[in-house]
């Protein structure tokens, strides 16, 4: 299996959309990255189409084609008949003129090869007397049968594809020629690489468009053609049958498109109940005009595209020189899977790790990309998936963890939307505000229980309120309140720490301090009075003593 599809790792965003849309779940998810499993992939290109980050890339072979042009050998293009749907208003002659400007020797329609293949299918039906024939034009369908339905390989038409038939025909007519196929398909790159020596390079319509733009070459809008061909219907659903003569008695002719429909048909064949059928199978819905490159960039319009093909086709066949049967033979072999089916014990163990203990726990929501929880468990056992890919599991785990924090934090938490309506309230907050049940307030305006001014301020200014001490008079509580505005979730989060006991303790200490100061003031006042009284008495005594001494002095002097 060639690496036709690659991954830009930095772009993978863990959306699991590629897994969800991969019909065979050939994608492994590890280390937050999706990885395509080569031996399981059928190159249908759905992961490339649906990836919202454009993380899947088709390997570009433009440089390979340029090297072929520089070789000196004539390089001839085989262009898929779906080109008229991709390039509106551009016919084969206009396309030939543009590609010759790029350096190509000539351009022919792959419908020539389709005519050859159609003729071989008709020969098989008339001469080989086969019970069931499944067309082998679509390489993705071939890979699907080779990898997932090996018992049906005997029914797969052992005939080259129109691309290969045409390139073989070109090389027969031009022995030195190199061939380049251009179409809307990823799988054709792998087919060309696996069956060497037939197709030398494969370009997608996108690669061609970019190359023409790079060289400044414009496609003329002329729906011109020198001839008509019924084989131009090949890229439409039922297009192969439309070109065939369906006159074999007892045979049923069926056209199927889309991997799911083809898988269902293969299961029917596997049951042994289907016989005498010629089945046209296309991996893409709408067949090749719904190919991955067209779907990704052209945005297909099924009716309009079909009508474009029908108008460009015709009633006749290309005049081809039909090769011998053995020249068109193609061998298909079983491509073995490496991954083993886990045991029931292993599956049950993983389911329990995913939180799936009973059948009712298995939601089968598909968010991980797998259709059922059991399929996801098998993928985990095989190393293709991780338990963390289960979104309900992660959601429950995250909610359980956050609920544990919210329930056990001593802080009151209240969450409001931008309309200031209560969205969530924890038990601690209910205790602060004497609310019995959350249901009594959820959905109501916060003004019913709290002053909304801080919430409004945070919402209007975008600035958080931090550790503001507030007295809730109605509840006789003091709280230290913070309000945080989360713009991303459009929620206001109020955090309240009950500081009533702290406030009471602070007031108690303040009272004690105040009383102590008052007592000290009284003592000081009293002491001052005593001092003043003592001073007064001392003053009187001193005065009397002074008078007495003066008199004594005076009497002594008289003597």
- 403 CB contacts (<8 Å, ≥6 apart)? none
Q: Is 392 buried (19+), middle (13-18) or exposed (0-12) by CB count in 10 A?
A: middle
Please give the Cα distance from 182 to 510 (Å, whole number).
90
Please give the Cα distance from 126 to 118 (Å, whole number).
13
CB 121 within 8 Å of CB 244:
yes
User: Strand 75-79 vs strand 56-58: parallel, antiparallel, or unpaired?
Assistant: unpaired
359 CB-side CA count, 13 A: 0
Please give the Cα distance from 429 to 101 (Å, whole number).
77
Helix 344-353 with 373-381: angle, nearest 10 deg: 110
Please give the Cα distance from 178 to 199 (Å, whole number).
8
DSSP state of 300: -
Please give the Cα distance from 486 to 415 (Å, whole number).
10
For residue 420, count other CB atoms closer than 10 A to its CB.
16
Q: 409-498 in CATH: which number?
A: 3.30.450.20
Give me the tens of pLDDT residue by residue for the chain, a chain 559 residues long.
456 777 777 678 778 888 889 999 998 887 778 888 888 999 999 988 888 888 888 899 999 999 999 999 999 999 999 999 999 899 999 999 999 999 999 999 999 999 999 999 999 999 988 999 999 999 999 999 999 999 999 999 999 999 999 999 999 999 999 999 999 999 999 999 999 999 999 999 999 999 999 999 999 998 877 677 889 999 999 999 999 988 888 899 999 999 999 999 999 999 998 999 999 999 999 999 998 887 666 666 888 999 999 988 888 888 889 999 999 999 999 998 767 788 889 888 888 888 888 888 888 887 777 888 888 888 888 888 887 777 776 666 666 666 777 778 889 999 999 999 999 899 999 999 999 998 889 999 999 999 999 999 999 998 999 999 999 988 989 999 999 999 888 899 999 999 988 888 887 888 888 888 888 788 888 888 888 888 777 777 767 777 776 777 677 766 5
Phi, psi (5° rounding) for residue 555? Answer: -70, -35
- What is the enclosing helix (H) or strand (E) of 139? helix 139-148
For residue 396, count other CB atoms closer than 10 A to its CB.
12
Three-class DSSP category at 509: helix
Please give the Cα distance from 250 to 253 (Å, whole number).
10
Please give the Cα distance from 216 to 210 (Å, whole number).
10
Q: How far is CA 250 from CA 122, 126, 245, 255, 457, in A?
A: 15, 12, 14, 17, 82
Q: Is 0.75 topped by the overall pTM?
A: no
Instruction: Kindly tell me the sign of the dihedral angle through the C-alpha atoms of 380, 383, 389, 394.
Output: positive
Q: How far is CA 195 from CA 51, 62, 145, 192, in A?
A: 29, 20, 17, 6
Closest CA to 208 of 177, 183, 234: 183
Please give the Cα distance from 521 to 312 (Å, whole number).
113
Please give the Cα distance from 392 to 453 (Å, whole number).
37
Please give the Cα distance from 469 to 185 (Å, whole number).
68
Q: State the chain's maximal CA–CA distance in angstroms.
A: 180
Domain extent listing, the chain: 60-328, 409-498, 513-559
- What is the enclosing helix (H) or strand (E) of 347? helix 344-353
């Amino acid at each position: 299996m060639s690496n036709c599809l690659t991954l830009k790792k930095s772009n993978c965003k863990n959306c699991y959309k590629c897994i969800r849309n991969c019909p065979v779940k050939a994608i492994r998810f590890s280390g937050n990255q999706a990885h395509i499993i080569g031996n399981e992939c059928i190159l249908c290109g759905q992961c490339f189409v649906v990836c919202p980050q454009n993380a899947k890339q088709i390997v570009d072979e433009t440089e390979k084609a340029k090297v072929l042009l520089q070789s000196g050998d004539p390089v001839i293009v085989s262009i898929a008949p779906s080109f008229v749907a991709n390039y509106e208003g551009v016919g084969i002659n206009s396309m030939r003129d543009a590609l010759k400007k790029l350096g190509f020797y000539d351009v022919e329609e792959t419908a020539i090869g389709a005519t050859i293949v159609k003729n071989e299918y008709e020969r098989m039906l008339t001469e080989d007397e086969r019970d069931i024939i499944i067309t082998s034009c679509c390489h993705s369908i071939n890979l699907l049968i080779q990898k997932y339905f090996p018992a049906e390989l005997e029914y797969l038409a052992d005939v080259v594809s129109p691309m290969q038939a045409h390139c073989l025909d070109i090389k027969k007519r031009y022995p030195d020629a190199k061939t380049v196929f251009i179409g809307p398909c990823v799988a054709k790159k792998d087919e060309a690489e696996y069956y060497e020596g037939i197709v030398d390079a494969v370009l997608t319509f996108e690669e061609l468009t970019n190359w023409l733009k790079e060289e400044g070459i414009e496609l003329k809008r002329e729906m011109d053609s020198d001839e008509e061909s019924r084989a131009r219907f090949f890229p439409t659903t039922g297009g192969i049958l439309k070109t065939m003569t369906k006159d074999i008695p007892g045979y049923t002719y069926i056209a199927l498109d889309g991997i799911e429909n083809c898988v269902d048909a293969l299961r029917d064949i596997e049951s042994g109940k289907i016989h005498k059928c010629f089945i046209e199978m296309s991996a893409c819905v709408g067949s090749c005009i719904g190919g991955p490159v067209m779907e990704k960039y052209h945005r297909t319009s099924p009716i309009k595209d079909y009508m474009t093909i029908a108008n460009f086709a015709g009633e006749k066949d290309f005049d081809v020189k039909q090769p011998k049967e053995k020249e068109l033979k193609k061998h298909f072999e079983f491509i073995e899977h490496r991954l083993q089916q886990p045991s029931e014990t292993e599956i049950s163990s993983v389911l329990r790790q995913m939180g799936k203990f009973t059948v009712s726990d298995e939601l089968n929501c598909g968010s991980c990309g797998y259709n059922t929880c059991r399929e996801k468990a098998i993928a985990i056992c095989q190393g293709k998936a991780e338990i963390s890919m289960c979104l309900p599991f992660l959601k429950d785990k995250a909610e359980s963890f956050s609920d544990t924090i919210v329930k056990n934090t001593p802080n009151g938490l209240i969450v409001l939307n931008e309309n200031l309506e209560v969205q969530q309230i924890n038990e601690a907050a209910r205790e602060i505000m004497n609310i019995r049940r959350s249901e009594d307030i959820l959905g109501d305006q916060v003004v019913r229980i709290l002053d909304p001014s801080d919430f409004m301020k945070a919402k209007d200014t975008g600035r958080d309120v931090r550790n503001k001490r507030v007295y809730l008079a109605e509840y006789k509580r003091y709280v230290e309140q913070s309000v945080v505005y989360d713009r991303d979730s459009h929620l206001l989060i109020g955090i309240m720490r009950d500081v009533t006991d702290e406030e009471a303790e602070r007031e108690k200490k303040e009272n004690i301090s105040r009383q102590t100061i008052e007592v000290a003031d009284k003592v000081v006042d009293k002491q001052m009075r005593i001092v003043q009284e003592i001073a007064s008495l001392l003053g009187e005594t001193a005065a009397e003593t002074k008078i007495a001494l003066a008199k004594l002095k005076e009497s002594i002097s008289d003597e």
